[in-house]
Structure 1
Amino acid sequence: MDLKLSDRVAVVTGASKGIGLAVTRTLLLEGAKVVAASRKSTMELDELAGENLVHVAVDLMNPEAPEQVVAQAVESFGGLDILVNNAGGPPPGIALPRTSFLDASDADWHAMFEFNLFAVVRAIRAAIPRLLERGGGSIINISSGNGRQPSPINVDYGAAKAGINNLTKVLTEEYGPQGIRVNTISPGGVRTAWWTEEGGAADIIAARAGADRDAVLDTLAPQMMNMVTGKLVDPQEIADVVALLASPRSASTTGADFVVDGGFLKSL
């Protein structure tokens, strides 16, 4: 199926690995031009190099970074049609999971909201005028099942993602009539660097549970989250939904939350 993304210009944050890398690769395969934002590149991102890909090395904890990324899209490709706010998770220097509300200090809360919510707000603020110049476009915010499922585990992260869900609805009401569609995707546990990197969630849980990291990734983590599929989500599964929401074929889809979580969420 032709998603009609050829020559459309996209910004993808957190693009060097995990979900963001899968999104970048998928949009490029669909013919889009992509500005990939991340603190640094990776070998996997470098392998995608070509005339339709520009990498911008930015730290989204810097309030000026989102505007710089959007400006690069305009400079390199002449405009902007798609914004994928994917960057999120543990801010630099913070390890998750936490297990209690009391585990997070004021500084932890501030950093979590800076990275997971305020950076998104700034990116959208920078993108909207550019999207309007093109007659509209698509904003896709990567949220989380934790934004809808209250839990003492990573409570600050869940609160920030709940803010994204609310923001998405507000933007839909204000800018939908002007042709900008805004949607969220709520993953469950996804097999990304958050889990797999040394010192990441798999290692933290393994140490607490007296298990090995492979058992955590393959069995224990999905069981802990009560994922009915029994496995962590593949980043490509998120990327495929991003591509569909970015496409003009989803012209009447806005203000929606797409759950790709292996059955983590149980509520209606």
Structure 2
Amino acid sequence: MDLDLAGKRALVTGSNSGIGKGIAQVLAGEGCTVAIHGRDHARCEDAVAEIVAAGGKAVSATGDLASEAGCAGVAASLHDQLGGIDILVNNAGGRASSHRNDGVERPENPGWLETPWADWVWTYEQNVGAAVRLIQSYVPGMKERGWGRVINIASAAATQTEPDLADYAAAKAAMVNLTSSLAKTLAHTGITVNTISPGAVETPSLRRSFTDLAARLGWDSEDWDEIERRMTRELIPIAADRFGRPEDIGRMVALLASPLSAYMTGANYRVDGGQCRSIN
């Protein structure tokens, strides 16, 4: 199916690796000119080179979106390179305990009561703060052109809560909420706003984490296929019998970005292989 995306300009934040990179590659394959973003310039350029080698079009922009200055720098760079953005995919995020680099040692998954407020603020800025700044930067141009797409990447944790993961789950829940509000605000403008909530997606970091977990559990296997099979049946039950792949998320992004999806707005779409146990 031709999704009618040729010539559209798309910014995918946090796209020099993992889910974001998979999203960017799918959009480039559909004819978009994709802006690769990250905090590591070399990795961004490598991701751009991969897309170009595959026949796509891409540019890069480097900056920390958790600050006003970082967002302004990314926006200025892309204005110079592309003139504007038609499709904004707010994928950058993370959790303080996994990504903060302030010299303070903290457990990888601190408990609810042990997560300091500074970590809550960091996580919120990286997820919600970054999204809001870019929405406020790019949506006015979309309104002037009478067309645009905002796609926020949340998480299964946003609607199916588990013990702990307190700061991350709350920030992702805020992403789902702000999507609904923004969609109503942008009624009659030609802009749609949606959320995608991925389940567990196989990225290099997930593979490392679950391979280490399998070893701690005493599983007698270092074979990833066997680890994935046992994880998705015994620890994280997933009806699809596997973890997601970045391109699974990318395909849903491409669908929501397409002009063919103009009647889809203000919604949260789960792409989780049946991981969530609730009906919504």
Structure 1 or 2, whichever has the larger Rg, is 2
Equivalent pair of 1:79/1:134 in contact (CA under 8 Å): no
AA matched with 1:93: R
Task: Structure 1: state its 5+ residue gaps.
Answer: none
Structure 2 residue 69 is the aligned partner of structure 1 residue 69: no
TM-score, normalization by structure 1: 0.90
Equivalent pair of 2:61/2:78 in contact (CA under 8 Å): no
C-alpha displacement at 1:45, in angstroms? 4.2
Equivalent pair of 1:97/1:153 in contact (CA under 8 Å): no
| CA-based RMSD | 2.3
Q: Which residue of 2 aligns with 1:5?
A: 5
C-alpha displacement at 1:67, in angstroms? 3.1
Q: Which residue of 1 aligns with 2:49?
A: 46
Counterparts of residues 232-243 of structure 1 (less than 5 Å): 232-243=243-254
Counterparts of residues 64-213 of structure 1 (less than 5 Å): 64-91=69-96, 92-93=99-100, 98=109, 100-197=111-208, 201-202=209-210, 205-206=213-214, 208-211=216-219
CA offset digits 1:141-187 (Å, max 9, x no partner): 01111000111141211100000000000000101221210000011
Q: Which residue of 1 aligns with 2:268?
A: 257
C-alpha displacement at 1:222, in angstroms? 5.7
Output the CA distance in 2 between the equivalents of 1:110 and 1:203: 30
C-alpha displacement at 1:87, in angstroms? 1.1
Higher mean alpha-carbon deviation, 131-140 vs 34-43, is at 34-43
C-alpha displacement at 1:133, in angstroms? 2.3
Provide closer, same or farther for how the CA distance between residues 157 and 206 of structure 1 changes in structure 2, counting only shifts above 3 A: same
Provide closer, same or farther for how the CA distance between residues 97 and 230 of structure 1 changes in structure 2, counting only shifts above 3 A: farther
Q: Which residue of 1 aligns with 2:65?
A: 60
Equivalent pair of 1:237/1:260 in contact (CA under 8 Å): yes
Equivalent pair of 1:97/1:154 in contact (CA under 8 Å): no
Output the CA distance in 2 between the equivalents of 1:222 and 1:82: 36
Equivalent pair of 1:80/1:134 in contact (CA under 8 Å): no
Counterparts of residues 16-31 of structure 1 (less than 5 Å): 16-31=16-31
Equivalent pair of 2:239/2:273 in contact (CA under 8 Å): yes
C-alpha displacement at 1:236, in angstroms? 0.5
Q: Identity over the aligned pairs, expressed in percent?
A: 37
Count of aligned pairs between the two proteins? 265
TM-score, normalization by structure 2: 0.86
Output the CA distance in 1 between the equivalents of 2:48 and 2:163: 35
Secondary structure at the counterpart of residue 191 of structure 1:
coil
Secondary structure at the counterpart of residue 186 of structure 2:
helix
Higher mean alpha-carbon deviation, 71-80 vs 246-255, is at 71-80
